[in-house]
Amino acid sequence: MAQLAKTYNEKVIEIERRKIEDYEAGCAQLIDYSYFIDLGVVPIVRKSADKAKELLKFFKIASFNVLKTTDFLVNYRTAVSVINEKNVINSNAWVQTALNIGQQINTESFDLRKLNSYLQEIRKMTLQNPADFLPRLTEILVSCGVAFVVLPHLKNSGVNGAVKWINKEKVILAINNRRKYADIFWFSLFHEIGHVLQRKITMLIVGIDVEEMDETNKILEREADDFARNSLLPMDPYSEFLSGKDYSEGAIRRFANKIDIHPGIVVGRLQIEEHIGFERSNGLREKYIIHKKKK
């Protein structure tokens, strides 16, 4: 009788274990596993259950239920109507990936004055090729206490970038390369640097593709947008350029050359502000993908 009860209990435990494994395997199917293979953070496996185990190990969580929580990392509580479960789990997965990688990057102690002193050098990097500027950009940010993480876009994730302070001495700045135009990369970078300069040490600041966010985040986003715009195209010379109302490619090139900026950044700004159509002058906008692959 005792043996029968033991066998029964073992069977119940086994059934429950399989249910959990099936559930986690189903959740893993919502995430593009090949993305993490390409990053070099998980091994190649075939079975969904094995994919689930490897992803959970990398994310350092016990269950995908954690990534399904809308206020785990990416806060969607004010925009639930436009966000589905797949968006939430993948957005949290992208941010957690950035944080995991960023935590492994050794930096010097955060130095606000030093970071401000390097902003002009970083701005001039818009005129360089990614292969040339990326090592120096990374070196500068590390010396200022900023762990710089560039990741590819993860399918079904609405996250554009994130800033997270590990402590008062180190902050992670992460962006994705979803939109391949260089002007968008540079705006995103300066936007996130703007968030770093806000020094909201207790907050995880995430840029997401939703219309609604709480008022605090709206203010922080507007401040970061203004910082990025004014850093790349200073207000006075840009206003003077606009007053001439000459948006020809020649005029754009001359203005960009005058203020030492890539002409594609001027084009992107003109398009966003509807001074020219989105079909205009795209030949001046450079395309590249920047991806620092994890070793």
Task: Examine the pLDDT at 196 and tell me if it is beyond 60.
Answer: yes
pLDDT at residue 249, rounded to an integer: 96
pLDDT at residue 80, rounded to an integer: 37
Distance CA 70, CA 61 (A): 15
Task: Examine the pLDDT at 234 and tell me if it is beyond 90.
Answer: yes
- List C-alpha distances in Å: 148 to 104, 152, 274: 11, 14, 32
Q: Which helix (H) or strand (E) holds 4?
A: helix 2-28
Instruction: Identify whether the C-beta of residue 182 lies closer than 8 Å to the C-beta of residue 264.
Output: yes
Task: Examine the pLDDT at 293 and tell me if it is beyond 80.
Answer: no
Average pLDDT over residues 67-79: 59
Distance CA 281, CA 278 (A): 8
Task: Examine the pLDDT at 200 and tell me if it is beyond 90.
Answer: no
Distance CA 226, CA 231 (A): 8
Return the HEC string of 251-274.
HHHHHHHHCCCCHHHHHHHHHHCC
Average pLDDT over residues 59-78: 73
Token pair 């609604």 in the structure block, residue: 212
Tell me what percent of the residues of the chain surpass a pLDDT of 70. Answer: 84
pLDDT at residue 205, rounded to an integer: 79
pLDDT band at 81 (very low <50, low <70, confident <90, very high): very low
Token pair 């205009």 in the structure block, residue: 280
Average pLDDT over residues 66-91: 67
- Phi first, then psi: what are they for 49, rounded to 5°? -65, -40
Q: List the single range of 171-180, 186-195, 254-263, 275-284 with lowest mean pLDDT.
A: 171-180
Instruction: Identify whether the C-beta of residue 287 lies closer than 8 Å to the C-beta of residue 186.
Output: no
Two tokens, residue 118:
């390097």
Where is pLDDT greater, at 102 or 289? 102
Which parts of the chain are beta strand (E)?
A: 146-151, 159-167, 170-176, 204-208
pTM score, whole prediction: 0.85
pLDDT at residue 8, rounded to an integer: 57
Task: Examine the pLDDT at 56 and tell me if it is beyond 90.
Answer: yes
Averaged pLDDT of the chain? 87
Question: What would the pLDDT profile of 249-272 be if each residue is shown by its tens digit?
Answer: 999 999 999 999 999 999 999 999
Closest CA to 97 of 76, 77, 73: 73
Task: Examine the pLDDT at 195 and tell me if it is beyond 70.
Answer: yes
pLDDT at residue 1, rounded to an integer: 62
pLDDT band at 245 (very low <50, low <70, confident <90, very high): very high
Task: Examine the pLDDT at 67 and tell me if it is beyond 80.
Answer: yes
- Phi first, then psi: what are they for 104, rounded to 5°? -85, -10
